[in-house]
Structure 1
């Protein structure tokens, strides 16, 4: 049956389930009475949907609350052990795999280091090595948590690079900075990881998964629009126009900030990432005469740079070279932020990633000043530039949200296998006619 808007009764029922599940998830526990106003559904629709969700084991009672003169109202909440998600972060120094319940309680975690001593980035991100780490990590977290694989809503994976999709291979990763040229990651994972075929993979850019996490649970909550910046070895961004919908990853780090400038790790010249990523920042410090600790990884070296520029000991003199490099980096980032402000006019810009959080509010104050001076005055006066609040592991949380968001979008039902729909009669007739 089709209603006047073109949606079927099945569509309306799914939308009603989605609305109730989302409100229970973000605002619950709630009573049936309270769900009506916040979802816009009638009391009859709420009762019908709640009866289904309770019968399916997705929703459970969570006590009661007094009503004005009537019987106490039963509170309901999402049952957190009714399903599980896995989040994977293919990061810059490690592959992190975490398993969560529906309340995003971490039940198990495994980290597999990527070799940082290799001379070529392509070797660090060897596809076979990454696939093996993901496979072993998934097997380990499922075993640690004692979860049946069939209970998984899906596996979300955050990766560096552009993610395209093809009918044959699913998600295909174009990671120019890590030497991945059209890597059929979804197909390779399906062939390698011993999970049921019914468990879907959701593979997307790491900045996008970070944006998903910050908008759902972090500094982006309540914003109508935001740009979430991932600042690690390189830089990336996710543009979000609604706090509950998936954003759009943009290759902000490869926006040109200087003609014939420094060589970026993507191979081009003058990219923002060649000046503002942690890898480039430390390289510029070394070139200017700074002394990063010998053999230190990027995180330890950045800590040393900050300690040189902002010495913790009272009365200690700041290192002029370190301060100058940080200030120049802040100006490049500020110019990049100004472009985001002018292009998207967001309500907020949120900075996350291990390097962004380590640089912290003192550095962000300088970035904010430059951004305001380079951007158009009206959108600059309406944007807040802040640090993310979910910590350096937010990419993994955001990756786990991808299957959860899909689950909600389907009304709390696992996505059915795609079936080929019958063509309308006129298509069949014309096809047969053309073949004569």
Structure 2
């Protein structure tokens, strides 16, 4: 049966289920009475949909609330046990795998070191190592939590680089800075990981998954137009223009900020990432005479830089008037504390110019910073970045944009990765993906192959 709009009754039922699930998930617990105006559905439609979702184990009662002069109204919520999702953060120093229930309560986690300390120009990712870490990590979190693989709504994966969706290999990753050239990651994971074929892999850029998480559950809630910056070994960004929109990853770290400047990991010169990513920041500190702990990973080395730059009781940053900006080309040497402070000040100016570009291009309500390096540098460093951003951006859009830190911490990428299959699940009305039966190819394809010998 088809409705006048071209949608079938099945389509309308799916849309009604989606509307109820989303409202309960983001605004619940709610009563059946409240769900009507919240979703635009009639009381009869709400009752029918709720009955279906309760029968499916997706919605449950969550107490009651007094009504005006009548019987108490039963509150409803999405059942945390209604399904599970896995989020994977393929970072540049480690891989984090987390298993969540529908309420995003962490059920189990695994972290596996990935990159050695120091620059990695000659040590790109081994794809087989990454795939093996993900395969073993998925198996471990499922076993730890005692969750059967068939209960999974999907596996979300956040990766560095540009993501392409292809018909033949699924998601393909172009990670130039980590040595990945058109890696068919979805196909490789499907072949390596023992999961039912109907459990999807949802792979996307890590900055995009971070933005999705902060927009849904963190500091981005309520923003109409936001930019989320992922500041780790490198830098990336995601632009979100709708509350429930998926966002768009942008290769912000590879904007040219200095012609014929430092060599970037991507091979070009003068990229923002060559000055502002944690890996480049630490390299510049070493060049200026800094001494990170021997054998330290990037996180430990950055902590040492901060300790040197900001001794107990000292103020952060010195300001552009101190002559430490990029145009001088000077980074103090000899004095470890002065060298660390100078490198951070120079980095703040480059990042401020990069933020100004984001403000001028996208005119966001908010710019929010996440990633392990951004969170470690914290508000004190970010205050200097904001000053440089205001100095370089157009006044009107800069006056409307707030700049701050994300609120979801180091797990933002894995949370955002996990909610990719959750978003798809809601879009299907809370129905699990079905395995697609294999259908024979049309006769003409066989005839063409026989003629061409392919």
TM-score range, shorter chain: over 0.9
Map 1:250-399; keep pairs closer than 5 Å: 250-312=250-312, 319-399=337-417
Kindly tell me: are residues 122 and 210 of structure 1, through their superposed partners in 2, closer, same or farther at Cα, counting changes over 3 Å?
farther
Counterpart of 2:22 in 1: which secondary structure? helix
Q: Distance in 1 between matches of 2:351 and 2:120?
A: 26
Deviation digits for residues 319-351 of structure 1 (CA, Å, limit 9, x no counterpart): 222212111111110111111111111111000
Measure how far apart 1:8 and its partner are.
3.0
Measure how far apart 1:399 and its partner are.
0.7
CA RMSD of aligned residues (A): 1.9
Q: Which moved more, 1:381-390 or 1:42-51?
A: 42-51
Measure how far apart 1:390 and its partner are.
0.7
Q: Is the 8 A contact 1:264 1:270 kept in 2?
A: yes
- Structure 2 counterpart of 1:82: 82
Deviation digits for residues 409-432 of structure 1 (CA, Å, limit 9, x no counterpart): 1111123445799xxxxxxxxxxx
Q: Is the 8 A contact 2:117 2:298 kept in 1?
A: no
TM-score scaled to structure 2, two decimals? 0.89
Map 1:111-260; keep pairs closer than 5 Å: 111-117=111-117, 120-121=120-121, 123-260=123-260
Q: Distance in 1 between matches of 2:389 and 2:207?
A: 20
Measure how far apart 1:75 and its partner are.
0.6
Deviation digits for residues 78-128 of structure 1 (CA, Å, limit 9, x no counterpart): 111110000111111111111110001111111111140587456451011
Counterpart of 1:150 in 2: which secondary structure? helix
Segments of 5+ residues of structure 1 without an aligned counterpart are 422-436
Counterpart of 2:244 in 1: which secondary structure? coil
Q: Distance in 2 between matches of 1:257 and 1:307?
A: 28
- Structure 1 counterpart of 2:10: 10
Measure how far apart 1:279 and its partner are.
0.6
Segments of 5+ residues of structure 2 without an aligned counterpart are 317-334, 440-454
Deviation digits for residues 351-404 of structure 1 (CA, Å, limit 9, x no counterpart): 000000111101111111111111111111111101001111211111111100
Map 1:35-46; keep pairs closer than 5 Å: 35-46=35-46
Measure how far apart 1:288 and its partner are.
2.0
Kindly tell me: are residues 275 and 118 of structure 1, through their superposed partners in 2, closer, same or farther at Cα, counting changes over 3 Å?
closer
Q: Distance in 2 between matches of 1:121 and 1:199?
A: 36
Counterpart of 1:165 in 2: which secondary structure? strand
Q: Is the 8 A contact 2:199 2:433 kept in 1?
A: no
